[in-house]
Structure 1
Amino acid sequence: MCIAAFEAAMHIRTLLLTSLSVLALASGAVAQDHGDEPQEVIITGNGYRVTKDAMTSHVDVVTRTELDQKPAQGLGDALAYMPGVRSSSFAPGASRPVIRGLDTYRVLVLNNGLGAVDVSALSPDHAVGSDPLEAKRIEILRGPSALAYGGNAIGGVINVIDDRIPTSPASDGVDGRVTAQLSSVDDGKQLGASAKAGKGPLVFAFDLSHRKTEDYDTPVGPESRYLTDSEGEAPDTGEVQTNSASELTTWGAGASWIGDFGFAGLAIKQTEMAYGVPGHSHEGEDAEGPVTIGLDQTRYDVRSEFNLSLAGFNRLTADAGHTDYEHTEFEGGEAGTRFVSGGSEYRVALIRDEANGLSGVIGVAGLERDFEAFGDEAFLPSTQSRQTGIFTKYRYDKDVWGLEGGVRFDRTALSAAGFDRDFNTMSGSVGGFYRPSDHAFAGISLTRSERAPSDVELLAEGPHAGTGQFVVGDAGFDTEVGQSLELTGHITVDRHNRFAIDGHLYASRFDNFIDLRPTGDEADGLPVFQYVQTDADLWGFELEASAGLFGWKGQAVRLEASYDFVRGDTDLGPIARIPPSAVSARLTSEGGGWASHLEVRSVADRTTRLAELELPTQGYVMVNLFSSYRFASGVTVFGEVRNLGDAEIREATSATKDLVVAPGRNVRMGLAWSF
């Protein structure tokens, strides 16, 4: 705690000095303020409806308006600045969310509550099959709020929610949006459009998006000084991150029948993506040329919700999806390793929305997935995964106090040539809260999550140049069990939200924690990394605060700040790529159609508590200046100078941080039209 407090003090000092120096300028700009937005309702985390500020664990929501105005980037990078969330940042085309220091098979990425069935968890150079541009909103669930999704949500859930299957009629018969933006640092272009038509009962929807970027400019050479110094090389003086270009195209269409009974609909989505993998072959350049990845995914979904009155339940939801996914790694234009994943998932739940203080859900979920890999880097054999789970969760709310609890049981079967194992897992949570007034809330929750080992953790054996490792699994692994305690609290000083603070303190203990560790050996010219089981501890906290400062020429000026910290250790030493602490401040104002913000983010060094073979990471201070104006026609135009100081930014959570540096100063312009 002393180290964390010291780091926090140093960050806050830096932030205050920076904020004071720009306060005069920022007060003249207009910035975005979300204080007057209606309170979000979280549906997917529990099934039944609970407001965000009544959750006993940390839950965040990113709205459509925020997503429209974010930089064109992958899912992990789009969420990386939220408290407790970072990105794997392997490459511009491949970024997966990291939640509280946990990633890959401990963080689920969902589409409307169902799995993406991609291979992004298999390796950090594999892209996520969902893009922020297609989302209506994104929910980030942690702790017991993710319980209904089983042990693979032991770290958390990212749920990308779209409106491809309409759940309500279109306003005035037709509604939709168009977004576009340009960026200077990578000559980037992005265009998105979606529309919904029909007042009911039959409603149609479609969406289309396209993004293209070139190799981006860098503030320093892509290779870090820590890497060049360790290898006795001269500092990298490059100004471009070569092989960082990407191109993404998605389209989708759906239809629903909507009536007093509820709704039922179906949809299809097609995703095509190509992106470079910079730094793929640092040791000895690949003679066949740079490595690029081509992704092709087709997804079919069915969603439905029926209003009913059955044994206290008032809704029945039934959803299913099927995905065909293919991912090919090209070496200088020649097809190399190919990954193919196909699978189906379903989820059926009876839901009781709050009545007489009691809410609840009971349901069943299942998935089937077939995976195949071909080529020189096929370090995992063809596998089949089958899982069936049942779950229930209830909440009793007596206004001043309340209780909640839930449990989920899963049976997971994994098979491959010469291998066949079943795992039975149980996850559960219990919690309570105290709410003395509308302005104060305190909650506590205890969670036990059990996760079956993944196919790669059990069966991997072979070279993986994407991470520069020869990876070896262990077919004898037991299930991974984590126990977590979380304390949460919200305080709003007055009804005008003059000052508000939100805090979350958590601690987790893992038995049979699966970790990837170097053995000191070499195979195929690569260092051997072996999956092992050990015990692990993680703890940390997240703080958010906001205050209304003053009014200025029709503008409401506010200050928002956040801080997060996490530490992770195992019996074998520190967990690799744990995020360093970060503090952010945003000076905002809003009024008269204008909305802008001045944002300063300071991320600490990671120079101690490093895993074996992990190099240090230099901290950074990033400054962004954003402004937008909304016309009465529904068109919003915006502009941003991102990384104003052209800072060198390397994320400690990235496996390629010493070969890939974040883009330099970037000027963005764009528009969003809602109709």
Structure 2
Amino acid sequence: MFRKTMIASVVAAGLLASPLMAETISGVVTDENGQPVAGAEVTVIGENQRITTDTNGRFTVTNLNAGEAELHIEARRFGHRNFRFEVPAQGLSNISLTLLSSTIEVIDVTASPFHASATESSLPVSVLAGDALKMRQAATLGDTLKNEVGVHSNFYGNVASSPIIRGLDGPRVLITQNGLDAGDASRIGPDHSVASETSTATQIEVLRGPATLFYGSGAIGGVVNVVDERIPTDNTTRAEWMVQRESVNDEKLASGSLVSGVDNIGLYIDGFWRDNDSYRIPGFAEAQPDDDAVKGRVDNTAATAKGFTVGGSYLLDNGFVGLSYGRLDREYGIPGHAHDEHGAEEEVYADLSQNRYQLLSELNFSSGIIRAVNTKLAVTDYQHSEIEEGEIGTTFKNRSHEARVEILHRTFQDWRGGLSLHYKFSDFEALGEEAFTPPSETEMLALGWVEERHIGDWLLQLGARIERVTLKAPNVLLPELEVHGHDDAQQHEAEHGAETPQVFAVQQRFTPYSLSAGAVWDFADGYNLGLSVSHAERAPAAAELLSFGPHISTASYEIGALFVQDEHGFELNTQPVALEKSNNLDITLRKFSGNTGFVLNAFYNRIDNYYYQQNTGLFAEESHQDEPAAEHGDEHVDEHTDEMPVYLFAVADATLHGLEAQYIWQVNDPFKLTLQGDYIRARLNGGGDLPRTPPLRIAAELAYQQDAISADLRATRYFKQDKVAEMEQATAGYTLLDASVSYRFDVGLQELTLYLKGQNLTDQTARVHTSFLKDLAPLPGRSLALGVRGRF
């Protein structure tokens, strides 16, 4: 059905094409001093034309309709601008378009259904690209993005950290690779590494706030899109590579990518290899070390990873179609485990692999009702095994496929936009003694619609989406479970999940929808005000509903919202499962021209039926049998018991609100000062705070760039977080000092950059409040990284 719909969309585009255009616009792009801007890109809004200005700043746009036309102009170090014209029958010539210089780096976001950048979107967005991305790239996606405004990391011992957007993570933050779900298991547990590599990415985009219109209910908190060129859109030969060595964990890194081709064929290849030991720290790993604690290192945080991608495209006059294959292998320790019967720490590590096939196609039409048809397909096979003392304890598998077709119409009554048809299927399976969630299948089919138009100084954006989500789990287990409290009065009160294990078949259907309206008002040159209001709904993830078992990475016993607790223990919940519903408001004020610029954001999210893990105050007893007696020739079998705190996925209404600010001052030609900060308040409406909420954070960075030398010095203050959930501990504040310096030079046709970067230069002991391992794994100590990268 879905495949037939995609084919019909492409055929319809061809049938609706008809010649309509004939007029021309020509002119010059200048800066505020009247000097020509070479290399500026001129795009006809609502059409498929993109022209680059010549060395004199001149351009010519052809094949336009007589009537109204809108041009979008962008250039490096300038703010983007839109210009509207009435195009007479004879066309327009010798027009002059002025761009305003900007201290804010403005980069387009490919993850947005609308044209978006840091200075143009009604929702706040961030893009990390170019040299800034190369200097900040880390082994994990969360650690790469942790300095972006509004983004924190859940820091899982430097091996599997994921991004947190405005206090939300897990199934509420969608991680995508070139616009499609990464297809891994990183959304169900902090120990599951994101299956995307930052060292070969060209840019990483962050959409803060609900981005559900084209990406679905899994993006109710935001989207992180990792962009690379695995399916090239041209065949211009270019390459990038880098090698790096870091001191704190003896990390070795090598990566590279190449784009080339011939005739109408574009080719791509990349690869990377990374290896590191356990990282060093200034003190003890444990917040309350015992007599046997070892100082100076977080054990079991070694990792090794490798991967490659090959891709190719057939380049057409009106677009491209391409395929790619990527392979990722990663092996890393899971820190914080010491539970064998002799008190010695067991070696627990994860072995991850993923195969990913992707198809991208963009077809543009110069006439007719349909302007473009964009198609994206991905098939992913992911596996993650947790290995204890050489034996597989638990294996997670996720086989998924996803398809999205975007049909964009030509400008109609000044409105431009289109429809998207989106399908996603995930077959998730967890097998083994610590499989805390049962096998399940999740299927989603959605229809989305977005439109935008300019009215004077206003840009209006509208959107809607409706989904059909089905969750099937044929073997949901309610096991026998003994739990108790830790105070004397509760020691004798044992409760059981069931007298004997019970198995249920579960099938849930949801119909979440999202609505959004946004506006951007250019109330003065170089200033605008953005406003976004939205209603977004989310179907709960399988792990939030079906979990019932020990979770190795969080050292807890997790019980899903599909189970309820009564005086007899835990039973299956027969009440309808609620959708998570949020009503959201975002206000953004920007100044992006001149020697100073700023972006100020305020947000308010009211979320009904918020799913979160509540500490019950109870402890589950898990009995483990030692090696079988037959292997020892006796009848005695030793048993030992682990105690884990019991966390229940509770449902309650919550409110999250906060502020984000960034101020940039170009002090003079070489020096630039950046100040930024963010604050998040996350509360339950019935009283109390949500767990693991990021603390108040402020940062200052002084950057220097002159000729071939670049340098920066950054100080970040994380304040104490004492607004904590029940039975959650407060976390002390800390200050991190980072710096880097680089030198660019040419060798033949290559541009090389030699760099040195330092992190936590004052060797602070820093515990991340958002981390499940904050009392077991602080941030790495002082670290220096030396590297060289090149491109041609």
Same fold? TM cut 0.5: yes
Say whether the 8 Å CA contact 1:477–1:533 is kept in structure 2: no
Distance 1:550 1:283 in 2: 61
- Residues 43, 71 of structure 1: alpha-carbon distance in 2 compared, 3 angstrom cutoff: closer
Equivalent position amino acid for 1:49 in 2: H
1:88-99 to structure 2, matched below 5 A, reads 88-99=154-165
The equivalent of 1:183 in structure 2 is 246
Say whether the 8 Å CA contact 2:118–2:125 is kept in structure 1: yes
SS of 2:218's partner is helix
The equivalent of 2:762 in structure 1 is 645
SS of 2:296's partner is coil
The equivalent of 1:434 in structure 2 is 521
The equivalent of 1:338 in structure 2 is 395
Distance 1:351 1:286 in 2: 62
Distance apart, 1:474 and its partner CA: 2.4
The equivalent of 2:115 in structure 1 is 49
1:498 lines up with 2:612 in the alignment: no
Q: Which has the larger radius of gyration?
A: 2
1:483 lines up with 2:583 in the alignment: yes
- Residues 480, 146 of structure 1: alpha-carbon distance in 2 compared, 3 angstrom cutoff: closer
Segments of structure 2 that go 5 or more residues without pairing to the other structure are 1-76, 79-101, 475-504, 563-575, 623-642
Distance 1:349 1:584 in 2: 40
- Residues 646, 284 of structure 1: alpha-carbon distance in 2 compared, 3 angstrom cutoff: farther
Distance apart, 1:358 and its partner CA: 3.3
Distance apart, 1:52 and its partner CA: 3.0
- Of the candidates 489, 505, 510, which is equivalent to residue 607 of structure 2? 510
Equivalent position amino acid for 1:221 in 2: F
1:270-281 to structure 2, matched below 5 A, reads 270-281=327-338
- Residues 266, 573 of structure 1: alpha-carbon distance in 2 compared, 3 angstrom cutoff: same
SS of 1:195's partner is strand
1:424 lines up with 2:424 in the alignment: no
- Of the candidates 47, 53, 68, which is equivalent to residue 134 of structure 2? 68
1:219 lines up with 2:282 in the alignment: yes
User: Could you report, residue by residue, the CA deviation over 1:326-366 in whole angstroms, capped at 9, with x for unpaired residues?
Assistant: 10001122111011110100010012587885331311111
Distance apart, 1:504 and its partner CA: 0.5
CA RMSD of superposed structures (Å): 2.0
The equivalent of 2:471 in structure 1 is 414
Equivalent position amino acid for 1:436 in 2: F
Equivalent position amino acid for 1:592 in 2: D
Distance 1:674 1:36 in 2: 26
Distance 2:116 2:720 in 1: 38
The equivalent of 2:689 in structure 1 is 574
SS of 1:631's partner is strand
Say whether the 8 Å CA contact 1:49–1:354 is kept in structure 2: no
Distance 1:369 1:124 in 2: 19
- Of the candidates 699, 702, 727, which is equivalent to residue 584 of structure 1? 699
1:548-627 to structure 2, matched below 5 A, reads 548-551=666-669, 556-570=670-684, 571=686, 573-606=688-721, 608-627=722-741
Distance 2:316 2:323 in 1: 16
SS of 2:284's partner is coil
Distance apart, 1:57 and its partner CA: 1.4
1:458 lines up with 2:572 in the alignment: no
Say whether the 8 Å CA contact 1:343–1:370 is kept in structure 2: yes
The equivalent of 1:382 in structure 2 is 439
Say whether the 8 Å CA contact 1:204–1:255 is kept in structure 2: yes
User: Could you report, residue by residue, the CA deviation over 1:547-578 in whole angstroms, capped at 9, with x for unpaired residues?
Assistant: 12134xxxx11111101000101125211000
The equivalent of 1:5 in structure 2 is none
SS of 1:78's partner is helix
- Of the candidates 120, 133, 136, which is equivalent to residue 186 of structure 2? 120
User: Could you report, residue by residue, the CA deviation over 1:577-613 in whole angstroms, capped at 9, with x for unpaired residues?
Assistant: 000011111101111111110111111011x221123
TM-score (norm 2): 0.76
- Residues 51, 609 of structure 1: alpha-carbon distance in 2 compared, 3 angstrom cutoff: closer
The equivalent of 1:157 in structure 2 is 223
Equivalent position amino acid for 1:125 in 2: D
Distance apart, 1:521 and its partner CA: 2.0
Equivalent position amino acid for 2:514 in 1: S
SS of 2:199's partner is helix
Distance 2:277 2:359 in 1: 36
SS of 2:144's partner is helix
Equivalent position amino acid for 1:653 in 2: T
| Matched residues, number | 625
- Residues 120, 145 of structure 1: alpha-carbon distance in 2 compared, 3 angstrom cutoff: closer
The equivalent of 1:547 in structure 2 is 665
The equivalent of 1:21 in structure 2 is none
Say whether the 8 Å CA contact 1:280–1:467 is kept in structure 2: no
1:532 lines up with 2:650 in the alignment: yes
Equivalent position amino acid for 2:134 in 1: D
The equivalent of 1:258 in structure 2 is 315
Distance 1:38 1:466 in 2: 38
The equivalent of 2:789 in structure 1 is 672
Say whether the 8 Å CA contact 1:568–1:575 is kept in structure 2: yes
- Residues 351, 286 of structure 1: alpha-carbon distance in 2 compared, 3 angstrom cutoff: farther
Distance 2:262 2:238 in 1: 10
Distance 2:664 2:345 in 1: 53
SS of 1:198's partner is strand
Say whether the 8 Å CA contact 1:63–1:137 is kept in structure 2: yes
Equivalent position amino acid for 2:712 in 1: H
SS of 1:427's partner is strand
Say whether the 8 Å CA contact 2:421–2:446 is kept in structure 1: yes
Higher share of residues assigned helix: 1
Distance 2:412 2:735 in 1: 49
- Greater displacement, 307-316 / 581-590: 307-316
Distance apart, 1:465 and its partner CA: 2.4
Say whether the 8 Å CA contact 2:212–2:514 is kept in structure 1: no
User: Could you report, residue by residue, the CA deviation over 1:650-669 in whole angstroms, capped at 9, with x for unpaired residues?
Assistant: 11110101100111111111
Distance apart, 1:313 and its partner CA: 3.6
Say whether the 8 Å CA contact 1:68–1:179 is kept in structure 2: no
User: Could you report, residue by residue, the CA deviation over 1:360-415 in whole angstroms, capped at 9, with x for unpaired residues?
Assistant: 13111111111111111011111011000110111112351121110110100000
Distance apart, 1:286 and its partner CA: 7.0
- Of the candidates 133, 137, 141, which is equivalent to residue 199 of structure 2? 133
Say whether the 8 Å CA contact 1:192–1:207 is kept in structure 2: yes
Distance apart, 1:283 and its partner CA: 9.4
The equivalent of 1:22 in structure 2 is none
The equivalent of 2:171 in structure 1 is 105
Distance apart, 1:116 and its partner CA: 1.2
1:208 lines up with 2:305 in the alignment: no
The equivalent of 1:371 in structure 2 is 428
Distance 2:663 2:142 in 1: 24
The equivalent of 2:534 in structure 1 is 447
Distance apart, 1:539 and its partner CA: 0.3
- Residues 286, 426 of structure 1: alpha-carbon distance in 2 compared, 3 angstrom cutoff: farther
Say whether the 8 Å CA contact 1:144–1:445 is kept in structure 2: no
Distance apart, 1:267 and its partner CA: 0.3
Distance 2:359 2:719 in 1: 45
State the percentage of identical aligned residues.
Answer: 31
Equivalent position amino acid for 1:271 in 2: L
TM-score (norm 1): 0.89
SS of 2:511's partner is strand
- Greater displacement, 425-434 / 447-456: 425-434
